[in-house]
């Protein structure tokens, strides 16, 4: 695990861009967890610039997988990215003009999609819709600059999409730089990984002294916040005594899904089978 990340980070550090060591460690931790679970699939990035984050993604690709890069201009540092040894396709395109038909072969086949493109309101919603079309059942969508209030429209676009569109995407993790979303059905496994392992994984990647905050947990929202500890802060869980009942993983299926599950269980117990 360490060797893969170190190699990717060395390459990423040579590429111009703004991806922090903190975000590198988070992304690699999640990608490594996918690999441990046997989750496979291509990866895709909208908004690449020279490819700093792409180097981290490429490091976790298997030989059978491909990284699809889309940027509005040909800024790609192809020589640096070639050092990853990954299969990469470079595409010069304005993400606002991308349509689902352009990705027919990748429908529900992408395990990680990083959105770092326009940062504008309507285009962000469009990019989320493309990602929603692409993500596999265990896929992860990562939104850049989610908490950067210079781009406060990303917050608004994200929640408008989540609560007004037909989607089963939910947030499971946020940081000071990015938001991470998954399918509702995958929320328990990713939330459990964050709760039980993310601090250790960050430490192993050289980012020490992190903690989690979670001050609410409902079927509509139960994301964890991962950050660096404040000075004199020792606890790994913010407000551990006050919010201890939120530091657990519960069923986050939608009320409608829970009703369907209950109905199926009742029907399964009946002597007469209903079709």
pLDDT of residue 275: 44
Q: Is residue 268 part of a domain?
A: no
Contact status, residue 131 vs residue 168, Cβ threshold 8 Å: no
Residue 38 has pLDDT above 60, yes or no: yes
Nearest CA-CA partner of 94 in 117, 70, 121, 72: 72
* Residue 215: HSE in the Cβ half-sphere, 13 Å Cα cutoff: 6
Q: Is residue 275 part of a domain?
A: no
pLDDT of residue 9: 98
Q: Is residue 250 part of a domain?
A: yes
Instruction: For residue range 102-133, list pLDDT tens digits in order.
Output: 999 999 999 999 999 999 999 999 999 999 99
Exposed e or buried b per residue across 1-40, where buried means at least 16 C-beta atoms within 10 angstroms of its C-beta? eeeebeebbebbeebebebeebbbbbbbbbbbbbbeeebe
Instruction: For residue range 213-253, list pLDDT tens digits in order.
Output: 999 999 999 999 999 999 999 999 999 999 999 999 987 66
Residue 262 has pLDDT above 80, yes or no: no
| Burial class for 185, CB neighbours closer than 10 Å (0-12, 13-18, 19+) | middle
Location of structure tokens 């010069």 = 92
Residue 60's Cα: distance from chain center in Å? 14
Q: Is residue 122 part of a domain?
A: yes
Q: Is residue 271 part of a domain?
A: no
Q: Is residue 194 part of a domain?
A: yes
Domain count, the chain: 1
Instruction: For residue range 125-142, list pLDDT tens digits in order.
Output: 999 999 999 999 999 999
User: Residue 135 to residues 103, 113, 121, 249, 256: CA-CA distances in angstroms?
Assistant: 11, 7, 21, 23, 22
Residue 96 has pLDDT above 70, yes or no: yes
pLDDT of residue 124: 98
Residue 231 belongs to domain with CATH number: 3.40.50.150
pLDDT of residue 237: 98
Tell me how far apart the alpha carbons of residues 55 and 265 are, in angstroms, rounded to a whole number: 46
- What integer is the mean pLDDT of 255-265? 54
Q: Would you tell me how many other CB atoms lie within 10 Å of the CB of residue 188?
A: 16
- What integer is the mean pLDDT of 30-57? 98
Q: What is the DSSP string of the chain?
A: -HHHHHHHHHHHHTS-S---HHHHHHHHHHHHHHHHHT---EEEEE--TT-HHHHHHHTT--TT-EEEEEESS----HHHHHTT--EEEEEE--GGG--GGGGGGGTT-EEEEEE-S---HHHHHHHHHHHHHHEEEEEEEEEETTT-GGGTHHHHHHHHHHHHSS--EEEEEE-SSEEEEEEGGGHHHHHHHHHHHHHHHHHHTT--SEEEE-----SS---EEEEEPPTT---SBTTTTTSGGGSS------HHHHHHHHHHHHHHHSSSPP-
The verdict on pTM exceeding 0.95 is no
State the residue range of the domain holding 146: 2-262
pLDDT of residue 194: 98
- Which of the pair, 272 or 66, is modelled with greater confidence? 66
- Average pLDDT score over the chain: 93
- What integer is the mean pLDDT of 166-194? 98
Q: Is residue 75 part of a domain?
A: yes
Residue 170 has pLDDT above 50, yes or no: yes
274 pLDDT band, cuts 50/70/90, is very low
pLDDT of residue 2: 80
Q: Is residue 272 part of a domain?
A: no
């Amino acid at each position: 695990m360490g060797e893969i990340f170190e190699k990717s980070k060395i390459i990423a550090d040579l590429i111009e861009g703004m991806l922090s060591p903190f975000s590198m460690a988070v992304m690699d931790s999640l990608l490594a967890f996918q690999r441990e679970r046997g989750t496979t699939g291509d990866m895709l990035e909208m908004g690449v610039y020279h490819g700093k984050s792409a180097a981290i993604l490429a490091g976790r690709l298997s030989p059978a997988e491909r990284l699809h890069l889309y940027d509005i201009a040909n800024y790609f540092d192809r020589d640096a990215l070639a050092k990853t040894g990954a299969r990469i396709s470079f595409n010069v395109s304005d993400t606002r003009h991308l349509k689902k038909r352009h990705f027919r072969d990748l429908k529900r086949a992408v395990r990680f999609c990083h959105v770092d493109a326009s940062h504008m309101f309507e285009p962000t919603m469009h990019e989320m819709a493309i990602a929603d079309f692409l993500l596999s059942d265990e896929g992860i969508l990562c939104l850049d600059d989610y908490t950067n209030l210079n781009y406060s429209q990303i917050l608004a676009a994200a929640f408008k999409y989540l609560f007004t569109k037909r989607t089963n995407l939910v947030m499971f993790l946020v940081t000071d730089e990015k938001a991470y979303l998954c399918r509702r059905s995958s929320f328990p496994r990713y939330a459990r990984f964050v709760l039980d392992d993310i601090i250790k994984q960050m430490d192993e990647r050289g980012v020490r002294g992190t903690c989690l905050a979670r001050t609410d947990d409902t079927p509509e929202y139960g994301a964890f916040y991962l950050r660096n500890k404040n000075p004199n802060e020792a606890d790994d869980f913010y407000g551990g005594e006050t919010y201890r009942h939120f530091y657990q993983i519960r069923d986050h299926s939608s009320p409608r899904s829970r009703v369907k599950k209950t109905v199926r269980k009742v029907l399964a117990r009946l002597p007469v089978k209903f079709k």
